[in-house]
Every structure is written in structure tokens, then in C-alpha cells.
Structure 1
Amino acid sequence: MNNPIRWAIWATGAIADKFAADLPLVADAELLAIGSRSMANANAFGDRHGIPRRYAGLPDLLSDGDIDVVYIASPASAHCGDALTVIAAGRHVLVEKPFTLTLADAHRVVAAAGEGGVFLMEAMWSRFLPYFDMLADLLGQGVIGDIRYLEADFGMRFPADNRLFTASTGGGALFDLGVYPLQLAHAVLGVPTSLLASGLIGPTGVDLTTQIALRYPQASASLQTSLTVPLRNEARLVGADREIVLPKFLHCPDEIVIGHRDMSGGDLVVDERLPANQQGNGLHYEVAAVHSCIRAGSVEHPLMPWAATLEVMAMLDQTAGQIGLHVG
């Protein structure tokens, strides 16, 4: 067996807990260290997950020469600066989504990784789940023919004290939830020829609800996200006669549904249900992908290459500009 790849986690929020819980599912992964701005938080997190080394502050964490790769789970507003710091220390890095809050910052991080020769990937974990491989295979087989229309939404009603209502840390529906419908549209349809967005900015300066219309040469997409309205949290990929449905939740569904409707719409007539079960929280699949690249000496992964991150960031950037969302 190969020597383990030694991980550190930077920040101790909810997504970091899920990541730490899933890491043991990857045989050659070792969770060596946890870092936080608060030593108390680092110790509490380390105790929960049995992590031997704990550090207060990112520079102290990076002073540990045994760390191979850092998972950045800090607030979105800190992603750019934290990623640049990790890259400057010569470590590989997995950055939680959204990659950054602006396209300009995303270019800075990608350029730094290219110059430093380290592995870098946005933690768009959905692209590494079992359902995503199945979806790609179904589309490749032409099960529904060419996609003519894509509809996807992701929204919930969050309490007013939720972190997503805090503008200073990169909150809002678009960057936390809306990135999932956007990345799905990008994955299956590519870069749109046009994007038209509208949104409602709340009193704290974050977008509460955002709608995005995408146009492609032979298709269109309608996307929606919200912090205040419970949506269906599903996706439909519609072909000439049949469609694929990704049920709740669209970014990590337990099954893929193939079906059809009559010419006037109506309820979906199900032709087939394909189980798409995942282990754990689903975050270890991206870890295995990171390992394969590090061991091969690759600096990016073909399922989530730097170009894909930059293209999705460009769509986020354009949407934010159109709805008057001020970030960064």
C-alpha cells in the first residue's frame, strides 16, 4: 500500500465536521492536523475526530512540514487569501465551494497554483458522487437525446440568525446554494451564450432569492435559489420526448429518474428509477480524486479542472453584477 496522504483541515465549521467524518473512508488518507483561529475550537474539533495535531492560526498549521494537502473550510470571504497562503507554503489545496467570491480572485488563486506547481481543486463534491457518473453515462448514451431545457432550483427557508444572512463572510443564496444549479448547467451544457439574472437583495446585503436564465445554441436553462423560500430542490433535464429528473436534493440525489410527460405536461410517467446510493456524507469521493492526482503528479483533476472553476465563477460574477450583489 502507498504511504498515506496526510491532510490538514483549516477551519472547524459544519462542512469541516462532515469532511473529517468521511476521510477515514479513503484507505490511504490520514487526518493529521486541524487548524482554527481559536485554539479552543481546534482542540474541540480534534477531540471529536481524533486528530493528533492542533494549531491556532493558518501560519502555525503550515509550519507543520508533515502536511501534504490542506482542505480549506473557512468562510467564503476568506477562501482567496487562505488558498494563496497555503499555495505559497508549497502545499496542495482543496478549496470548499464557492472557490472565491470574485472571478478576479479565482484567477489569482489559479495563477498562483500554476506558478507553484501544486495541486488545486474546488471542492465541488457533487461532480464526484456516483450519480454524476451515471448521469454522464445516460447523457452519453442518448437516453433523452439532446437536452432542450434544464430546470434546477435549490432553496430553503433559513432562520434569520443563520450565517447565510451575513454579507461580510460571503453569505447569500447565490454563492452557497445557487452554485449547485449553476455548476450542473455548466457540467451538462457548458458555457452559455447569454445569462440574464434577477434577484432580491435583503436588508443585510445578501441575495435572498435569485433567478437565472441561461441561453445556449440549442437549449435553455432556468435556475432559481433562495434563503427564504422552500423550493423543490430538484433538477429536470428535458429532451425531445423524455427527461431525466434528479430528485431532492439535486446535488446529491439517491436516485436518477427517467420518464416522460404527455404533450401538455402533466405528471411525470416514470420509465425507470436508477439507485445512486452514496457512502457517508459523500465527501470522500472528492478526496479519492485528489489522491489520484497527487500520486500521478497532476495539478488539476479532469472532472473539476481549473477552467471549469473559472467558467462557473464567471457565471457567478455576472449574476452578482446583474442583481446588484456586492461581494469581495
Structure 2
Amino acid sequence: MTGFPESLPIARTPDPTSAPALRWGVLGTGWIAERFVGSLQRHSSQRVVAVGSRGSAGAASFAERVGIERAHGGYEALVADPEVDVVYVATPHNVHLPCALLALEAGKHTLVEKPIGLNAGQAREIAEVAQRRELFCMEAYWTAFLPKFDVLRQILDAGVLGELTAVVADFGEWFPDDHRIRRPALAGGPMLDLGTYLVSFVLDVLGSPDHVLARGVPTGTGVNGQTAMIMTRGRQQAVLHTSLLSNTPTAATIAGSQATIRIDGPFYQPGGFTLTASDLTASLRYEEPLDKHEALHFQAAEVARRINAGETGSPLRPLSVSIEVLRVMDEVRRQTGDLFREERDGR
């Protein structure tokens, strides 16, 4: 075995507290919004100054709970706030499009929680408005900005794995019957919440697939329960599975002719991985704190740096990649018959 490194690369991720401080407004008061705000407050230089919700009571309660200065009882009021530099859209999936367009048309730089839209068409519409208004816009795919994934990128770019042959990954999580992911009216099912991590991972490692084969299992309540996918690109293959019916390891493997990377579950969060030579004669271990959603601040720091530099996107998650991920997911859902209500209504 030749070419196996003596040590792993060091993450090049800048210190989040060194990013220019921007004033953030948050659209939405749900689970992810609260974790995003908390992460920024505890680990970054960013300032969250306002929150907007559909009603005044919800906005005021959220603002008091997390320590935000101003609460707006309406999305329009939030995007019109002159003290807000950038808007984070954390509303349910099926209203990402109108909320993102609202913020952009109001002249605000915008970070949209993943997925940026229900489908590739919606993502293109957001990208077109951002380009026309010459504003920063990005999907909040936080995984791309974690130190672990910078180390992985360096390993792959250096060709340590040799010829890439396969990606194997899963993401299964059990959700109760009353959770929003099980509700057809909120674009439920595993693909938008969980499957987006799997498809993004494949595109990051292998690139866009030439062929996609997918099969789904419905829940009988109007949303899909689980989906299995096989994606091929030339001689490379990805085998993926996502489910909202049960918990699975949520681990991932990148296999090559010279070495293999096994990423601990949950693979999309901070954590460890092991690089092992194909002949099993050498192995290296990467470890980092299991901070879970405390690490959401890395993407916010990237947004602040790019906006401060006058840029309209990030090379770590350009809108073109977000659109392509949704295009592949659209094909998966076409094969499984997983159509959202907005798509049936022509929106």
C-alpha cells in the first residue's frame, strides 16, 4: 500500500468569532430557528436583532425566550426593518419560496433553511430574484460549513482514496404521528428533511448522477414513509436510504480503490470518521466535539464574510448546487409518486 498519509489535514475553517458582525432578522419561530439563534449568540460575532412570525404573540414569546430585541407580528414587518442586514428564513418548507422572495424583494440578503424550495423550479426562481436584486442568497445547508467536512474535502481532493467507487449512506429517524414531517399540508415525508443530506452528500463526493432508481413506501396518511435510492455516475454507485418510520445508524461510507472513509452517525453533524487503507495496514482517526446543532453558527459566519466582501453567494454551497440537489430529488420523488400539494396545485 502506497500513498497513505501519515496524518490527517487540519480544518481550514475560520474562527466564527472573527467574521464581521451583521444584524440578523429571523423569519419563523420553530425548532430550527431557536437553535440557530442560540448557536449564533453563544459561538459567533453575529447579532440577532429581530424576529418575525405570523402573529404578534408568537413573535413576542420567541423574542423573550431567546433574548431578541424586537418582535414583529408579520413577515412583511420583519423584512422592512431597517435595522436588519440579513434575513434567515426558518419557516415550514412549503413557504420557503414566498418568504425568500419577500425578503429579497425587500432588499435583504437572505439565508434560506434547507431545502431552499420544494423543487428545483422554486430554487431557480429564488436564484433569479437574488441575481436580479444583486443580493447574497444561500441555502442553509449547515453541513457544508463544518470543520469535519473541510477535512474530508481535503482528503478527497488529494486523491487519498484512489478511484472513488461507492457511497453508502442512510438517514432514518422516528417521528411521532403529530410531527409536521408526517403532515401532507406541510410538504411532509423524509426527502426534504432527511433525504436532502443524502443527496447533497452524493453530489459533493461523486457529482451529479447519470441515472437514478428509487422506490418508496407510503404511510397511508398522504406522505411517503421511507425511500431507497440507487444512483450511478459512470462506474461509481451510491446506495441511499431514508425513513421517518424508525431510527437507523445515519452513518456514511466513501469507498475508493486505495482507502475507505467511514463517517460516524449522524454523518451530517459534527463528529468523527476513520480513514482506512484498502489493505487494512494503516488507519487514521478524526475526532471533534459532538456539538450537534450548536455548530449552526459556522454557516452564519460564512454568510457574514461573503456579504462583507460584496459577494452574492458562497463557493461552499452555491445556489447552482442547491438547484441540482433538488433536481435529483425531484426525480426521486417522481419515481416514488411523492408529489407535494403545492405541485399538484401548479405552484
TM-score, L = length of structure 2: 0.89
Partner of 1:59: 76
The match for 1:274 among 270, 286, 289 is 286
Q: Which moved more, 1:141-150 or 1:207-216?
A: 141-150
The match for 1:41 among 48, 58, 78 is 58
Partner of 2:3: none
1:160 corresponds to which letter in structure 2? D
- The answer to whether the aligner puts 1:109 opposite 2:126 as a matched pair is yes
- Render the CA deviation track for 1:51-94: whole Å, top value 9, x for unaligned: 01000111111221111101000000000011011111000000
The match for 1:326 among 307, 329, 339 is 339
Root-mean-square deviation (CA, aligned residues, Å) is 1.8
The match for 1:162 among 166, 170, 179 is 179
Q: Which moved more, 1:272-281 or 1:84-93?
A: 272-281
Q: Secondary structure at the match of 2:48?
A: strand
Cα–Cα, structure 1 residues 325 and 154, in superposed 2: closer, same or farther, change >3 Å? same
CA–CA separation in structure 1 for the residues paired with 2:130 and 2:287: 37
The answer to whether the 8 A contact 2:302-2:314 is kept is yes
Cα–Cα, structure 1 residues 3 and 129, in superposed 2: closer, same or farther, change >3 Å? closer
The match for 1:316 among 308, 313, 329 is 329
1:151 corresponds to which letter in structure 2? V
2:265 corresponds to which letter in structure 1? K
Q: Any stretches of 5+ residues in structure 1 without a counterpart? A: 263-267
CA–CA separation in structure 2 for the residues paired with 1:231 and 1:260: 26
The match for 1:286 among 296, 299, 305 is 299
CA–CA separation in structure 1 for the residues paired with 2:316 and 2:23: 23
The match for 1:9 among 26, 34, 58 is 26
Q: Secondary structure at the match of 1:258?
A: strand
Partner of 2:140: 123
- Render the CA deviation track for 1:168-192: whole Å, top value 9, x for unaligned: 1121101110111110001111111
Same amino acid, percent of matched pairs: 34
Q: Secondary structure at the match of 2:71?
A: strand
The answer to whether the 8 A contact 1:247-1:253 is kept is no
Partner of 1:32: 49
The match for 2:37 among 3, 17, 20 is 20
TM-superposed CA distance for 1:260, in Å, is: 5.3
- Render the CA deviation track for 1:203-240: whole Å, top value 9, x for unaligned: 22211000111101131001110000222100000111
1:23 corresponds to which letter in structure 2? L
The answer to whether the 8 A contact 1:150-1:220 is kept is yes
Q: Any stretches of 5+ residues in structure 2 without a counterpart? A: 1-17, 343-347
Report matched runs for 1:230-309 at 5 Å. Answer: 230-259=247-276, 271-277=283-289, 281-309=294-322
The answer to whether the 8 A contact 1:131-1:253 is kept is yes
The answer to whether the 8 A contact 2:19-2:305 is kept is no
- Render the CA deviation track for 1:285-318: whole Å, top value 9, x for unaligned: 0001001110011111000001101110101111
TM-superposed CA distance for 1:144, in Å, is: 1.7
TM-superposed CA distance for 1:3, in Å, is: 6.8
The answer to whether the 8 A contact 2:146-2:270 is kept is no
